[in-house]
Chain A
């Protein structure tokens, strides 16, 4: 089986994002970029499935500008066999990303598509579900545990009520939650080896995907700041303050 992994590059999760004063966007110039943490988990899971003999090949797929290649090399250094880079300088919304991934699926015929449950930049949490719908295949979102046997995946999902287990026939889309696994670190020799691995570049326009984005972002604003708080010196003062607010 072949596994495709959606691999997005985002502003590093430790960066404190700044909104531009004119409301036109957030400051991204010179800001550290990294793999979306949930996609690293997706790649790790795919690699483990390959190590278990469930999959033969793991392919990372990314959509973005020319310099996204460096990001995809990180995925190759982590252990992916090869990468596919869909080149576009435009920002891509989830529905368009899902349409692109479907084109790659039609060509590659994977048994599984794994992607993070959400990207930490747009926080949309949509792409995996949309892809599953367009592909007309099952989805197992928020996966905390994945077992694959006999052409089906048994997935334990992290839902509000607790842990839900479902069974889906392959091929399917899985989106990963935080506790699925601990992604491995990249070692220096692997970075060298990754340089020899193939990256397929595909021009976005050649895919024939309708890139029409239905959502228009008109303004960016910083969140409303909370007023400055007070420090109390002991438990009695805290209880008094809460009683005064009518909270105790």
Chain B
């Protein structure tokens, strides 16, 4: 039977919803137990949040000053040690999970399954390759632990609230490296919904034309309660910060509604939105590739159409 260890992702004392999505994938394995590992310096609130997620058997905590920031070189040896006795180690496929999980896998001497989008059996998974243009079925060796990252856009967040899993402090005898030090984190300041968990996302591309023009996208997003994303072209042109990039090399999202405005739809961008419920494209070029995957398309000038949309909504 499978025993799964899920690595929690958290920031500023809050559990990231990617953790509950990784728990959903663990549930799909039909595991005997699902434990969540929380590493940090002050972790009580995060551990309490993790304990409420449905399906979680136990929350294990490692509170150390060295764990104040998620440095892969510091966390990986602790996770590798904690993984003893588990058949699976799951981490969300966010920049956090992508950074730390392969380091854990290498310490354990095992391969890693990246971006699990479905669980076929305890050791068989589906994952995308070639920017999502092919889906492969991969089989991991059942003789040792499976390390995997879970593609957050493919999994709903497990419900939270009804559970109250026990919380246990774990003491690990691990010497931690001092060769890697945290300096600072510059967060994009935004009151809008989080891009990766929002049910609606409005994205702008090169067609928006400038940083100032992006206001029209923000305003429209606020009107419908959406998060704001962007294509690589808009990020590279300096219209918006990089953490807003949607696509193969940015964030992969699956909102109920995705509106691509002034985005032509390069393969690398489409990869990031393929799992969206409804895709709406607004572009002045009727031949743009984005219309090939859009559920609803509208050809025209975005600067004329967005105000019209706002008026039509009333």
Which residues of A are at the interface with B, using a C-beta cutoff of 8 A? 11, 13, 16-17, 19, 26, 93-95, 98, 117-118, 120-134, 136-139, 141-142, 144, 154, 157-169, 172, 177-179, 213-223, 226-227, 229-239, 241-242, 245, 247-248
Quick one: which of B104, B105, B296 contacts A229, CB cutoff 8 A? Answer: B296
Check B296 against A241 for contact (C-beta < 8 Å). yes
Quick one: which of B94, B179, B200, B241 contacts A137, CB cutoff 8 A? Answer: B179
Q: A223-B133, A234-B308 are in contact. Are A133 and B102 (CB under 8 A)?
A: yes
Q: List 28 A-B contacts (CB under 8 A).
A: A16-B267, A94-B102, A94-B111, A94-B112, A95-B106, A95-B111, A95-B112, A126-B105, A127-B102, A133-B107, A139-B99, A139-B103, A141-B95, A144-B242, A157-B95, A158-B243, A161-B187, A161-B188, A162-B243, A166-B180, A168-B73, A168-B179, A172-B179, A213-B111, A214-B111, A229-B291, A238-B309, A242-B278
Closest to A38 in B: B249
CA distance A239 to B187 in the complex (A): 34
CA distance A134 to B248 in the complex (A): 27
In the assembled complex, which residues on chain B have CB atoms less than 8 Å from the CB atom of A172? Answer: 179
B206 close to A (CB within 8 Å)? no
Quick one: which of A134, A157, A239 contacts B312, CB cutoff 8 A? Answer: A239
B138 close to A (CB within 8 Å)? yes
Q: Which of B54-62, B124-132, B161-169 contacts A (4 or more CB under 8 A)?
A: B124-132
Closest to B224 in A: A248
Q: A158-B242, A235-B305 are in contact. Are A120 and B130 (CB under 8 A)?
A: yes
Closest to A142 in B: B95
Q: How many Å from the CB of B272 to the closest CB on chain A?
A: 12
**Extra pairs beyond A129-B98, A133-B104, A215-B113 (10, CB < 8 Å):** A95-B112, A117-B249, A165-B184, A168-B181, A178-B249, A215-B111, A229-B296, A230-B296, A238-B296, A241-B296
Q: A138-B180, A220-B135 are in contact. Are A158 and B291 (CB under 8 A)?
A: no
B71 close to A (CB within 8 Å)? yes
Check B291 against A125 for contact (C-beta < 8 Å). no
In the assembled complex, which residues on chain B have CB atoms less than 8 Å from the CB atom of A227? Answer: 295
Q: B111-159: which have CB < 8 Å to A?
A: 111-115, 124, 128-141, 144
In the assembled complex, which residues on chain B have CB atoms less than 8 Å from the CB atom of A231? Answer: 291, 296-299
Check B183 against A167 for contact (C-beta < 8 Å). yes
Interface residue count on the B side (C-beta < 8 Å): 88
CA distance A29 to B257 in the complex (A): 38
Quick one: which of A13, A218, A248 contacts B137, CB cutoff 8 A? Answer: A218
Interface centre among B94, B138, B180 (most CB of A within 10 A): B180
Check B135 against A223 for contact (C-beta < 8 Å). yes
CA distance A235 to B181 in the complex (A): 52
Check A123 against B224 for contact (C-beta < 8 Å). no
CA distance A218 to B95 in the complex (A): 28
Interface centre among A17, A123, A144, A214 (most CB of B within 10 A): A214
CA distance A158 to B247 in the complex (A): 14
In the assembled complex, which residues on chain A have CB atoms less than 8 Å from the CB atom of B243? Answer: 158-163
Chain A interface mostly: mixed
Quick one: which of B95, B183, B236, B294 contacts A179, CB cutoff 8 A? Answer: B236
Q: How many Å from the CB of A158 to the closest CB on chain B?
A: 5
Q: B268-300: which have CB < 8 Å to A?
A: 268, 274, 277-280, 291, 293-300
Which residues of B are at the interface with A, using a C-beta cutoff of 8 A? 11, 71-73, 76, 94-96, 98-107, 109-115, 124, 128-141, 144, 177, 179-188, 196, 200, 224, 232, 235-236, 241-243, 248-249, 251, 256-257, 267-268, 274, 277-280, 291, 293-300, 305, 308-309, 311-313
Q: How many Å from the CB of A103 to the closest CB on chain B?
A: 15
Quick one: which of A118, A144, A214, A234 contacts B141, CB cutoff 8 A? Answer: A214
Q: How many Å from the CB of B105 to the closest CB on chain A?
A: 7
CA distance A219 to B114 in the complex (A): 16
Closest to A140 in B: B180
Quick one: which of A13, A158, A159, A167 contacts B181, CB cutoff 8 A? Answer: A167
Check A223 against B114 for contact (C-beta < 8 Å). no
Check B136 against A217 for contact (C-beta < 8 Å). yes
CA distance A27 to B268 in the complex (A): 19
CA distance A115 to B182 in the complex (A): 22
Closest to B115 in A: A123
Q: How many Å from the CB of A93 to the closest CB on chain B?
A: 6
Q: How many Å from the CB of A104 to the closest CB on chain B?
A: 16
Which 5 pairs, one residue from A and one from B, show the smallest C-beta to C-beta distance?
Answer: A235-B308, A214-B111, A129-B102, A133-B106, A130-B106
